[in-house]
Amino acid sequence: MVGRRNTGIGWITTVLTMFFLVVCPLYASGVELPLTGESAVLIDAHSGKILYEKDPHKLMYPASMTKLMTLVLAMEALEEGKVEMSDVVTASENAASYGGSQIFLAPNEKLTLKELLLGIALASGNDASVAVAEYIAGTHEEFVRMMNEKAAELGMKNTHFVNCNGLHDPDHYTTAYDFGRLGLYALRFPELLELCTVKHYRIREETSNPFQYDNKNKLLWQYEGTDGFKTGWTSDAKYCFTGTCERDGLRFVSVVMGVPVKSGHFADTKVLFNWGYSQYVFKEFYPENEPLGMVQVGKGVKEEVKAVPEGKVGATVEKGNEKALTTVVELAEMIDAPIKEGEVLGYVSVMRNEEVIERTNLLAGEEIDKGSWLMEFKKMLRVVVTG
């Protein structure tokens, strides 16, 4: 059933009522899962709500999970046009000196930025991480400053980085909650997920010493829908993993830390994902960019502009509890040109009774320039003639 009402404040409201079972709030009340790790979170990626947590604010060492922040800053540099995947990066003596998990860079060796990023995402190269950090920021130290700045921006209040690769330092720490926030932010970059899903990659093919990266994320083989992010291990951190998985439109971000046994970080993540998919479902109402209405344009070269959702419109709800959800679309009655593409024109809310569960902005689907005085005169004349 479609209804229409005037809000009295210049908004047109369309109510689309869907008949589902009652929606329950998103939290894991009283649930205890058989996890071996010291700390964990499972997050609904659509809403950002925590579905399950175990001591999520406990200070822990992130080990090579750190490299997820390194990859995120690289994605930002790519997005801003500061670097290109095809850029040739020359490894410094400093970068080549890093041991542990590595891609065995030699001083002055040249690899593309893409090859180095794959060396981080797959092989967890400590040397590759420093090479990328130096290329983007000039020095490793400046890159670490950028990491901490981004952590603060993302609300990672209990995180402090000392390096870009996660080699142990007592002052290099975080929490499962904070890395959950980082994982949610990392989903903004499709190219990062593409890197993280590559299982094997070979470099130095034209040399006498070719080398193959093998992805350390074994859930790519073991758990359908997994497409990120980053593993970690040191003797101090134990095993840890920040992951993400999507099935039937429902995406989770997971973090497990302080797991004492080999491969236990994967086992714990499977427990989290299995529980999440057994309990929740994502109900989609409208896909991203599907027009949900038209807004009248004043003083423009066009008389109307489409309103499209900023992202897919839906809600994550407990299975069997989807009754009486409604979507409410609220749009400005009129907006004067010029209008920028992506300008907010209103919003669409997913409702349970009178409660707003999710709210998504509705954006202008195109740019509308301001019309000339002659165009406005012709519009007025047309109104007079047609009555």
Contacts of 188 (CB under 8 A, 6+ apart): 75
39, 92, 101, 124: the catalytic one is 124
End-to-end CA, the chain: 33
Query: How high is the pLDDT of residue 299?
Result: 87
pLDDT-flagged residues of the chain (< 70):
1-30, 324, 373-387
Per-residue pLDDT tens digits for 282-332:
999 999 889 999 999 988 888 899 999 999 999 999 998 777 688 999 999
Query: Quick check: bond before 285 cis, omega within 30?
Result: no
Active site residue 218: no
Tell me the three-class secondary structure of 111-178, residue by residue.
EEHHHHHHHHHCCCCHHHHHHHHHHHHCCHHHHHHHHHHHHHHCCCCCCECCCCCCCCCCCCEECHHH
Please give the sequence-ordered ranges of beta strands (E in DSSP) within the chain, or none if there are none: 2-6, 11-17, 39-44, 50-54, 88-90, 110-112, 200-203, 211-214, 226-234, 238-247, 250-259, 280-286, 294-298, 304-309, 313-318, 325-332, 334-336, 344-352, 355-364
Tokens coding 220: 């790519």
| Residue 215: strand, helix, or coil | coil
> 136-191, pLDDT tens digit by residue?
999 999 999 999 999 999 999 999 999 999 999 999 999 999 999 999 999 999 99
CA neighbor of 150 nearest in space, from 56, 77, 213:
77
Which one of the listed residues 39, 54, 67, 230 is annotated catalytic? Answer: 67
State the catalytic residue, choosing from 39, 54, 64, 238: 64
67 is catalytic: yes
Instruction: Clarify whether 97 is annotated catalytic.
Output: no
Q: Rounded to two decimals, what is the model's pTM?
A: 0.87
What is the C-alpha to C-alpha distance for residues 132 and 124, in angstroms, rounded to an integer? 13
Q: Which domains does the chain have, with CATH numbers?
A: 2-23+287-386 (2.60.410.10), 39-260 (3.40.710.10)
Write down the number of H helices and E strands in the chain: 10, 19
